[in-house]
A and B are shown apart, each in its own frame.
Chain A
Amino acid sequence: MTGSTVSGAAAVSRSRRSRALGRRSRAIGRLVFLGPGLAYLIVLLLVPLALILSYTVFRRGRFGGVVYEATGENFTRLLDPLYLDVIVSSLKLATIATVIALLVGYPTAYLIAQLPRKWKTIALVAIVLPFWTNFLVRVYAWIVLLSGPGLVNSALGDLGLGPFEFLYNQGTIVTGLVYSYLPLMVLPLYAAIEKLDPQLREASANLGARPARTFVSVTLPLTLPGVVTGCLFVFVPSFGNFVIPELLGGGRSIMVGNLIRDQFLKARDWPFGSTLTLALLAVLIVLLLLQAWSARRA
């Protein structure tokens, strides 16, 4: 959860460590500690990813499957404005969802961090708990809440309003994304804010800074790694999502996750599906580089 925040402390201890360790025991240590996990990840993560990437240069068989004949056509197809539009609109929806999650999640995390210890725990658990019911069931609960004959409309109807059509547009997709991934924003933010030294803020206040100024020039920069991690945790699953656009979007909008799913399942065009996957990975890698860059600056 906090990969980027680890580096600083680890760097300091590393220089001390290298002196203390003998070369041989280091080699054994590497083998014992790094070996099993990396071997596992190579076989079940890197090889599968490499397989997907290798399909990008082949083409679909007549009735599905892969024909192992090199071709560049998948990449030409990728440049089709249709797919670029979907990628851009997914970027847009995922970004909006991430920004909303940040705007709601930051104050929430900030307050949780300042609650008395007992309440802090309860507040944190309450953030995670919705994750323990089934994802699809939660999404359907939104449909029950928002649909034409649903609860919100009956309540509004009692007030003489409506009925409104809340569902099946991009707004409900964003709502669904924020709902599903908000906890992933709050947790790293909380971790970052919790670590802040309250004396820093006090010092800033004593020097005459207003609360807003203290926030902008002290609190925010120091919690930036948490902000970036949280944004990443919300953005990544939002960007690749396909269930929410289908259920809450009524199938009227699609995101890049739907594109990929449709190529693999509906068109049975694994090579092009792989190419779209590669495009999605490329976007995410750019974002990870940005994260690394901002972590370094912080």
Chain B
Amino acid sequence: MPRSRYTRRLPAAALAAGLALAVSACGGEAADDTTAAAGPAASASSAQLDPNADLSKQSLAISVWDGYTPKELPQQVKEKLKTELKVTLHANNEEIMAKLTSGTDTGLDVAFVSGQYAQALNEAGLLEPIHPELVPNLANLFPEAKELSYDKGNVFSVPYTWGTTGICYRTDLLKTPPTSWNDLLSPPADAKGKVTMMITERWLALPAIKALGYSVNTRSDEEIAKVKEKLLAAKPNLLAYDDTTFRDRLKKGEAVMVEAWDGWCPAGEKNIDFVVPKEGSDLWVDTMVVLKSSKNKEAAHAFINYILDPKVHGWAASNILYGVPNKAAMDLVDPELKASMPSLQMTPSQLLQGESIIDLGEDSVKFTRLATEVAAQQ
């Protein structure tokens, strides 16, 4: 039976249909590129919000990383704001970004995303600017928290946690403690094959970028080529690329040196310590944003205001073990805990020495390519 003759027509038919649709899409959709104009796109079309809105008539859906807010948050919010709160989880920035930028209605009001992603969402016109008059607790933030380069002045995002990236290592299994990114990239004999680096592209590049003395936001092809060389040279000495389970690996001794976010390094445990390499590092910020599509914007602002309450925000510092950009909240953290965790000892000015990661627009694909090249090399 001449089966193949018909099957061959199938892709052609699909292509034809695709072109037809593409043409119709051209007319219907507004081009995303209008956001290329400088300045925060969102501020142009800020909604009128009613400061006296009845919050009990609104309900909230938020999306956040697992374990990033207290389990009791919905009850607490219901009590304080009279608003029904639904907490949903996302595993990483990429996942929530795909949903938020797909054009579907996700039903979310507030999302927790890292700074550079908040910036990209804003550029795409998906964010409601923060109405400071509805968030009086913004006053609790460190002045430095308004100087974050992806969103100066907290126009469309409110920082929730912040920190830096460094090397987390076993003091008992390493002869000399690491001090430089080069110790991670070309490890000493006792660490060969027992090192992990992160796989998320910007953090994958970070150790090599800093070891070479470049900016974390470099767009230079030449510099990225050098970074690639360095990362490829480091690959044979790696156990794996890992940004989720490196803690377990370190505790088990499967790894002795891992690239880690400060709060994720269990530095409080025996034989484990954390260092920010001498070449410097990044400043990452996890933020809260209000979505333009939200129908409960007053409640969303009230929610953010509630989170910035020192007690609530302090929970994050004491439990996630990341620093929070809230002075009153940091003052509430147990001093003993603070003493054991380098992440809780960082002052805002120390943190701001780290370079803030921003979205690089069309140049950000260079980092995806870099990550692909590094992973593809055998």
**Chains A and B touch (C-beta atoms under 8 A apart):** yes
Q: Which residues of A does B touch, CB under 8 Å?
A: 7, 11, 46-47, 49-55, 57-58, 60-68, 82-83, 85-86, 89, 147-149, 165, 167-168, 170, 246, 250-254, 258-259, 262-269, 272, 281-282, 285, 288-289, 292-293, 295-296
- Residues of chain A with a CB closer than 8 A to B375's CB: 251-254, 258
Residue with the greatest number of chain B CB neighbours at <10 A, chosen from A63, A64, A147, A167? A63
- The answer for the CA separation of A224 and B263 in the assembled complex, in Å, is 57
- Residues of chain A with a CB closer than 8 A to B362's CB: 60, 62
Please, which residue of chain B has its CB at the minimum distance from the CB of A289?
B4
Please, which residue of chain B has its CB at the minimum distance from the CB of A259?
B372
- Residues of chain B with a CB closer than 8 A to A252's CB: 235, 238, 240-241, 375
Chain B contact residues: helix, strand, loop or mixed = helix
Q: Are A67 and B241 in contact (CB under 8 A)?
A: no
Give the distance to chain B from A113, nearest Cβ to Cβ, in Å: 27
Q: Are A262 and B372 in contact (CB under 8 A)?
A: yes
Q: Are B376 and A82 in contact (CB under 8 A)?
A: yes
Jot down 7 A-B pairs with beta carbons below 8 A, ordered by A: A7-B3, A51-B18, A57-B22, A61-B33, A149-B252, A289-B4, A296-B1
Q: Are A50 and B36 in contact (CB under 8 A)?
A: no
Give the distance to chain A from B261, nearest Cβ to Cβ, in Å: 17
Give the distance to chain B from A69, nearest Cβ to Cβ, in Å: 8
User: Which residues of chain B from 74 to 102 have any CB-CB distance to chain A below 8 Å in the complex?
Assistant: 94-95, 97-98, 101
What band does the interface of chain B fall in when counting residues whose beta carbon is under 8 Å from A?
35 or more
Q: Are B18 and A63 in contact (CB under 8 A)?
A: no
Among B23-31, B175-183, B283-291, B332-340, which stretch is in contact with chain A? B23-31
- Residues of chain A with a CB closer than 8 A to B123's CB: 62-63
The reply on B378 being an interface residue by CB < 8 A is yes
Give the distance to chain B from A47, nearest Cβ to Cβ, in Å: 7
Q: Are A262 and B361 in contact (CB under 8 A)?
A: no
- The answer for the CA separation of A65 and B121 in the assembled complex, in Å, is 10
- Residues of chain A with a CB closer than 8 A to B45's CB: none
The reply on B11 being an interface residue by CB < 8 A is yes
> Which one, A49, A50, A65, contacts B101 given CB within 8 A?
A65
- Given known pairs A62-B36, A64-B101, A252-B241, the reply for A267 and B29 (CB within 8 Å) is no
- Residues of chain B with a CB closer than 8 A to A285's CB: 7, 10-11
Q: Are B94 and A62 in contact (CB under 8 A)?
A: no
- The answer for the CA separation of A65 and B31 in the assembled complex, in Å, is 9
- Residues of chain B with a CB closer than 8 A to A264's CB: 98
- The answer for the CA separation of A170 and B36 in the assembled complex, in Å, is 42
- The answer for the CA separation of A258 and B371 in the assembled complex, in Å, is 11
A252-B235, A267-B364 provided; 6 other pairs, C-beta below 8 A?
A46-B14, A47-B21, A64-B32, A68-B26, A251-B240, A266-B201
Q: Are B373 and A265 in contact (CB under 8 A)?
A: no
Q: Are A269 and B235 in contact (CB under 8 A)?
A: no
Give the distance to chain A from B262, nearest Cβ to Cβ, in Å: 22
Q: Are A62 and B35 in contact (CB under 8 A)?
A: yes
- Given known pairs A61-B35, A253-B378, the reply for A54 and B19 (CB within 8 Å) is yes
> Which one, A7, A60, A170, contacts B365 given CB within 8 A?
A60
Q: Are A168 and B372 in contact (CB under 8 A)?
A: no
- The answer for the CA separation of A82 and B374 in the assembled complex, in Å, is 10
- Given known pairs A68-B26, A254-B372, A269-B365, the reply for A53 and B240 (CB within 8 Å) is no
Q: Are B372 and A86 in contact (CB under 8 A)?
A: yes
- Residues of chain A with a CB closer than 8 A to B20's CB: 50
- The answer for the CA separation of A263 and B364 in the assembled complex, in Å, is 11
- A-B complex: 8 closest residue pairs judged by Cβ atoms: A250-B240, A251-B241, A54-B22, A65-B32, A267-B368, A50-B18, A53-B18, A61-B32
